[in-house]
Amino acid sequence: MSWPWERGRAWAFQQAMGAVWYYAETNRAMSRMGRRTLDRVLGG
């Protein structure tokens, strides 16, 4: 995978990690979206 794609995956990972915990109680839909994003990023 090329460098720009790896950088994009790292950015998505960082944003999703924050969304999962930050929105866990106040916006569960956003938290779930973060969890799905993590699943996709880590799944390859």
14-44 pLDDT, tens digit per residue, is: 999 999 999 999 999 999 999 999 999 999 6
Predicted local confidence at residue 44, as pLDDT: 65
End-to-end CA distance of the chain: 10
User: Alpha helices, DSSP H only, in 1-44?
Assistant: 3-22, 28-43
**Measuring CA to CA, how many Å separate 25 from each of 6, 28, 30?**
31, 6, 10
Largest Cα separation within the chain, whole Å, is 37
> Containing domain of residue 38, as a range?
3-43
pLDDT band at 3 (very low <50, low <70, confident <90, very high): confident
Predicted local confidence at residue 37, as pLDDT: 97
The residue type of 7 is R
Q: Is the pLDDT of residue 1 over 80?
A: no
Predicted local confidence at residue 2, as pLDDT: 86
CA distance 1 to 30: 28
pTM for the model: 0.83
How many independent structural domains does the chain possess?
1
